Chain A
């Protein structure tokens, strides 16, 4: 039932052609399309991390904007206070900061499940939002903080003098994001198919039984929470240079709603669902915003329809449909 199934061969069979297409993209698509896809890949990393909690551990967080925002603001602070410009430092700083925050928040949240878990994660993320909003001398308030184009690979890949920023983002930065995205997918695939990943799924399916066979439920949940936070923080750090600016909007709980939306759109019961969902959502949002001021209406109608008609999401529904076809063909 899973396209990136349990065997490494399955991952390669689906993953290699997909990566080949993604590598060719900047050479055939317009720079605008490529930058759009970079946003999609960044969101996909966040959704992948989020789904480790929702799809594999059975915890619905409504506060994942916190780790995305911490990753993004960590980068902005490194620019503001240390005048750094190396993307490697940004990624490292964003990951460390989000790991730290998700360790604290996770420690508090994993004692609860279901609706209490959701509300607690949301309340904690709103604390960060209000701080980012009010402490304007540190965070720039609602104006946010600007982040200039970074240098990649220790300065080897930088935006040359006189060259266009958009050109840089659509080529070098795109490949940079793509490489990290592929790495993130492979690592997540290894995690969910490891004994640790199986233990998480056991917790999701039956907490009491998992406890009885010796799984330390709370500790496993905490580790999953932190891994999930790190993924989302990495996405936040990669997102800032694309956007050029970080504002408290990404710390507001409605952004958490978007991360949930990515995952459900693609299908949270599959490995590839959140990836496809994040990329698809990004296109949907950009085109809705481009064509109408009532883009929230479009997104809302899509979400309501999805929940009522296609609860398995894009990938989940395709998978249910495909094996039936294959069987009848064979």
Chain B
């Protein structure tokens, strides 16, 4: 029973991080119809900035401020997104989607090396933040408190995003643009501004995901490329452009991955990719997508 709870918590932990990354990717696709191959690198960028900022704080100031410093990662990723969209992506909306994929692939290569250039080839870690929270006892086993905190942050982010998209005026504009960009534009919506805002919000979520995993896993080169493919699996299962889909997809991937690591470690990744392929074949729009 205890191990079952631990497995369930691990699945939730993984799902909440995946939801943040994939939710951002899906939001950007839903509004702008762009598949951002560099999205994983924005997650990695958030992780690096968070680790760097928390590293400055730890040892000089109270440890509580270290947790606050992690937020710098999310803010930095959002800032980077706000710069990238108008400069690199905007010129391409009228062109074939091949070019949009290519430019984000180029961006992926550039960001990967910029992080190497700034922070060097070695991993950055702030495990002090992970350890200082201690652990909880679940029945007869113990479980790190920080993991629970990540699950809570993921849950709050999901609820906040839902409220933002479905309960605010900005959300209405966002959904209108997503459904029919021309019509929204004709009705007086400044589409360029919505695009920048949506892209920034998506990048903020990716950066937040990076910031909250950094105390547990550290920031390493290549983490973005790996995360991107799993985020793809999530959005494909849930449906490109659907936030509910991203949530369900993230939970499914979290559960399958946790089960995979325990029961079939050799084919755990292959099963995830196959799940995505099967969903695409049976329901190309995903479980929650619009055709």
Contacts and interface: CB of A to CB of B under 8 A. Distances in A.
Contacts of A130: 267, 269-270, 273
A111 to B, nearest CB: 8
21 contacts: A60-B97, A62-B101, A119-B280, A123-B232, A123-B233, A123-B280, A126-B229, A127-B273, A127-B277, A130-B270, A131-B270, A260-B101, A261-B105, A264-B98, A294-B113, A296-B113, A297-B114, A299-B106, A303-B109, A304-B106, A311-B99
Given A60-B101, A297-B113, A303-B106, A119 B236 contact: yes
Interface string A106-129: 001001101110111011101100
* Interface size class, chain B: 35 or more
Contacts of B268: 134
A114 B285 CA distance: 13
B266 A134 contact: yes
A contact patch SS: helix
Given A114-B97, A122-B232, 15 more contacts: A108-B277, A116-B280, A120-B280, A120-B281, A122-B229, A123-B276, A123-B277, A134-B265, A134-B266, A294-B116, A297-B110, A301-B106, A303-B103, A304-B103, A311-B99
Interface residues of A, number: 42
Contacts of B270: 127, 130-131, 134
B274 interface: yes
Contacts of A112: 280, 284
B107 interface: yes
Contact of B113 (A114, A260, A300, A302): A300
B225 interface: yes
A18 interface: no
Interface in B249-291: 265-270, 273-274, 276-277, 280-281, 284
Nearest to B276: A123
A311 B269 CA distance: 36
Contacts of A62: 101
Given A123-B236, A297-B110, A307-B99, A131 B277 contact: no
B117 interface: yes
B117 A294 contact: yes
Contacts of A293: 116, 121
The list of the 5 closest CB pairs from A to B, nearest first, reads A300-B109, A303-B106, A300-B110, A130-B269, A297-B113
Contacts, number: 118
Interface of A: 54, 60, 62, 108, 111-112, 114-116, 118-120, 122-124, 126-127, 130-131, 133-135, 253-254, 257, 260-261, 264, 293-297, 299-304, 307-308, 311
Interface of B: 35, 37, 88, 91-92, 95, 97-99, 101-103, 105-114, 116-117, 121, 225, 229, 232-233, 236, 240, 265-270, 273-274, 276-277, 280-281, 284
A126 B273 contact: yes
A95 to B, nearest CB: 25
A223 B265 CA distance: 36
Contacts of A297: 109-110, 113-114, 117
